[in-house]
Structure 1
Amino acid sequence: MGSGMSKRVRAPRQESRPEPERQNRSRAVSELLPAIGGAAFRKFGFVQSSIVSRWPEIVGEKWAGASAPESIRFPPGQKSAGVLTLTVRGAHAPMMQHVAPEIIERVNRFFGYAAVAKLTIRQGEVATWRVPAAPPSERPVPPELGNELKGIADPELRAVLESLAAGVAATRGLPKIG
């Protein structure tokens, strides 16, 4: 070895890693939509898209008819103390300024933490919110479930649960896929 030639050292063989499971399987559209909708909402400043879809629930029908959430902007690196921007019909803007603390409180209660610290108002056109009426149940509700559902005060929720109960009661055996 003294002749100036060095011995070549081979690196140990790296073990082959198992191939990751493929993701190009068939998926239900409902499985894909939350990711697509979530990306679009995040692009426009919404961390949680349900604030848009549940706005009448959060602030009430009266204020939801005059306003719509536009965006929530947080300080860099934080997910609290954000600024909620609302689009409000022109004549309703002064009223919304007066109820801003209550709206902030309701939005924070919805999130479960102090997500919003400030409210800004932008005048503009607001789409009217309509809660879709539940379709009438075509199948009869089983009597053992019907009596328990009568105690639910929200008519829309009761109609949806009655429809679900009727569908479950009408199902016999395993579902057929075909």
Structure 2
Amino acid sequence: MSLRDRFRPAKDSFYGPAAEALNEGRAARELAAKRGRAVIAPPPNASKALTAVVRPLLKGTGLGINELKRNWAEIAGDSFARATPERLVAGVLTLKVPGALAPFLQQQTPLLLERLKTAGAKIKSIKIEQRTAAPPKQTNVAPLKRTLSPAEEAALAQALDPVADPGLKSALMRLGRAVKQG
């Protein structure tokens, strides 16, 4: 076969307006099929990427302080439930223990170390800090300075009679008492 025959169009193919329309139709279908697709893939989730990098680095570190705090009651058991983990630095776990419980827990530290190692924590020793119990949390609700007289209470209840919802009615009663006493 000569070079001229290779580049000569085949006899069964045709040229002209009909062939151009056929090619344009095929091109339009291919463009329509690709329209609306993202050309560039979206970036990966940052937390997944960070986890993939950090997980091999932290493989041998064991439980952290947050996991210890979260699961302290299950890991430590009933005898250590009142102690709370404070810090974990270089394998030394610092516990905050209330009052007279500290000497008892000091004697039980080998048992606690065993339980922590069973749970997967890499702890070498335990430091016990004897501290007083934390003060109770304060609420943002101030106590009433004085109680309302029965007449004031009746007037407030009468003003709130049209309210049908009992939850809303009790909240409005508390608000009314707070406004009237101050």
Q: TM-score range by the shorter chain?
A: 0.3 to 0.5
TM-score by length of 2: 0.38
Tell me which protein shows more helix as a share of its residues. Answer: 2
TM-score by length of 1: 0.39
Q: Highest Rg: 1 or 2?
A: 2
